[in-house]
Homo-oligomer: A and B are copies of this chain.
Amino acid sequence: MELTATSNARSICRETSHTDCQKVIMPVRDALDVISGKWKLPIIIAVSSGHKRFRDIERSIPRITSKVLSKELKDLETHKLVKRTVYDSQPVSVEYTLTPYADTLNSVIDALHRWGLQHRKKILGR
């Protein structure tokens, strides 16, 4: 295992070279690219909540446009977080579902959620 439970990115960076430091930043930026942006999380949560059809997802997320939804769903599919299934019915219908892999994001979302909660209190005052 490359990282023990007690190690962390910053302590690594304090102790090692600049190029190793880059090796820490890169995975973090990879992860951020997948979940940051205005719509990724709302979409993940909408699909997770049982909204499977394109219009269904669209209606469940206030102020999103079809263009943005279309693009973000493609991104999420590329990252194997969302599965797109086309059914040959009349008319054809498309279903979006989360992959099992999407569950691996839970630890990340939890960490962000917890930190964000206390940070809001800290910055805005109690």
Chain A residues proximal to chain B, CB less than 8 Å: 2-3, 8-10, 13-14, 18, 21, 24-32, 34-36, 38, 41-42, 44-45, 48-50, 60, 78-80, 101, 103-120, 122-123
Chain B positions within 8 Å of A28 at CB level: 41, 109, 112-113, 116
| Min CB–CB distance A71 → chain B (angstroms) | 18
Interface contact A31-B122, CB-CB below 8 Å: no
Chain B positions within 8 Å of A122 at CB level: 80, 101
Interface contact B32-A79, CB-CB below 8 Å: no
Interface centre among A14, A115, A123 (most CB of B within 10 A): A115
Chain B positions within 8 Å of A110 at CB level: 3, 8-9, 111
